[in-house]
Amino acid sequence: MNIIVKHTIPSDAPSISPDLSAVIDVMQSGCALTARELTPSRVLEAREIVASGARMTEAAGPLIVSAWLKKLAPLVRNAPSSSAEASGYARMATEICGDLPAGAFTEEGRKAWVRQGEKGTWWPSIAELYAHLNRFGEPLRRQVIGARRIVEMAQRKPGAPSRQKPTDEEKAAVRAGLDELHAERRAREEDERKIREHGAWMPDDCTGLTGVALSEGLRRHLPELSGDRLEVTRRRIEAIEAATTMAAALLGSVPSVGQPGSVCDVMHTCCEDA
């Protein structure tokens, strides 16, 4: 398994110069690039980004997700304490986060989670995990897509027919699509803000609890909560209970706190199964 993981977990995302990054931002904002702006050095760097980023932008899948979680487990306080709980979490994480780019699951992302202060000492909920990793995956995807477009533009033969001017209907469709994307981004950013502010909240009598015990402890405090904290805590409870239900269905028993097994053992098993 160690050999498989060694050759499956991606290294850190390819670096990009500020110059090429700015060119990609301008292009993706809707501004057309001229031939003069496609300098040989920019095109060469774009080719390197495309070559090194091809695998990084593929969907992560269960093996990479499980291996990344296995390495996170020793760095936090309340990683899943039973085999059933860890197995359920790993499968749920793959279902929700498995379509993120493989390049999001790097050591840089793992360090970034731990360096969040108090929040970084706790095992993430599924929603927190997705929001955190997407911060690394989305820029990487945009970067590689932009570099690929630059390479394609550079390969276009001089004198080749240019695209026809878009019609009013096409422009309206693009504007509507952009408005929808902006709305989705605002909603996502608002959701991430809620998770950052309330996702690590832990009542004193729940400190150190995991799994079923944690969900029951959090549920006892729901009547005391309101607003965003109430919403996020309910989602945490739902994520824990969903993982528990999945584990029970897969293993034929309901996981209990203190059941033998560790998250590392289960991640190991998940990697081998994959």
Does 192 have pLDDT greater than 90?
Answer: no
pLDDT digits (tens, 9 = 90+) for 193-251: 888 888 888 998 988 888 888 889 999 999 999 999 999 999 888 888 887 777 777 66
Of 27-36, 47-56, 212-221, the least confident? 27-36
pLDDT bracket for residue 9 (50, 70, 90): low
Does 171 have pLDDT greater than 90?
Answer: no
Averaged pLDDT score across all residues of the chain: 78
Does 259 have pLDDT greater than 50?
Answer: no
Integer Cα distance of 269 and 265 in angstroms: 6
What pLDDT is recorded for position 227? 92
Integer Cα distance of 50 and 35 in angstroms: 20
What pLDDT is recorded for position 158? 59
Of 12-21, 94-103, 184-193, 235-244, the least confident? 12-21
Q: What are phi and psi of 20, to 5 degrees?
A: -70, -35
